Structure 1
Amino acid sequence: MAQLVAAGAPELPEGWFYRVRSTNIRALKVEIREQRRFRSRLVADTWVFERPEESAEESIVAACARAFKGWQEADARRAAYLATTAYIGDHDPKGGRK
C-alpha cells in the first residue's frame, strides 16, 4: 500500500488495505479491504479505467481515489441513517397515557 500512497492514492486507516486484482473479463479492479483475524472484508471496489493519456500507475491511483471516495460517501450515508434511528418509536404529543 505504501507504493500506492506514495503515488498519490488516499491513505487508509490502520488494518485496511488496497487490493488490485485481475478479473475474468481481462480487466483490473481495485478493492478496499478491512483485515480481520483470519480473512479480510470487502469494503469498497471500483474498476480500473485504462486511458491512453495515463500511465498504468496513474490509472490505478485514480481507481483507488474513486473507491476511497465511494467508501467515504457510503460511510456518511450510513452515519446519517444511524443518527435517525434514535427517533425510532412512538412519539405521543400528549406525553403518553395517564
Structure 2
Amino acid sequence: MSMAQLVAAGAPELPEGWFYRVESAMWRGAIRVIIRRPKLIGSKEVERSVIFVHEHADELAAVVSGCRHAHRRWQEREESRVLADRAREYYGDHDPKGGR
C-alpha cells in the first residue's frame, strides 16, 4: 500500500521522506505501526503504537488507527520539546531578593 493510499484511508500525512512501517507485534492479534524518518543511511524510528486488530472494523481501520495514534504521540512529544526549549530562559538560580 502506498503512502497516498494510506493517507486517503485516513492516516495523517507525514513530512516529506518520512513513512509508516506496519509489522506484527509480539502479542497475538496485534500490529505495530512505526513512524520512521530517513537518515543518511537507512531510517530512524520516531514514534510507535501497538493496535489490536480485533478492536476495529477491519485490518485497514486498525492500521489507520495505529497511524493516528503514533502521529498524535509524536506531535505531543514535539510540542513538549518546544515548551521545554522556551523554559530555557528561566534556567539558573533565582535569588530570593530579586536578582539572578
TM band (smaller chain): 0.7 to 0.9
What is the TM-score normalised by the length of structure 2? 0.82
Please report how far the alpha carbon of residue 23 of structure 1 lies from its aligned counterpart in structure 2 after TM superposition.
Answer: 3.5
In structure 1, the residue matched to 2:41 is 38
For structure 2, the 5+ residue unaligned runs are none
1:72 to 71, 75, 80: 75
Local SS of the residue matching 2:53: coil
Single out whichever of 59-68 and 85-94 deviates more from structure 2: 85-94
Larger radius of gyration: 1
Aligned to 1:15: 17
User: In the TM superposition, what is the alpha-carbon distance from 1:51 to its structure 2 partner?
Assistant: 2.4
Partner of 1:58: 61
Equivalent pairs counted in the alignment come to: 96
Conserved? CA contact 1:49–1:63, under 8 Å: no
What is the TM-score of this pair, normalised by structure 1? Answer: 0.84
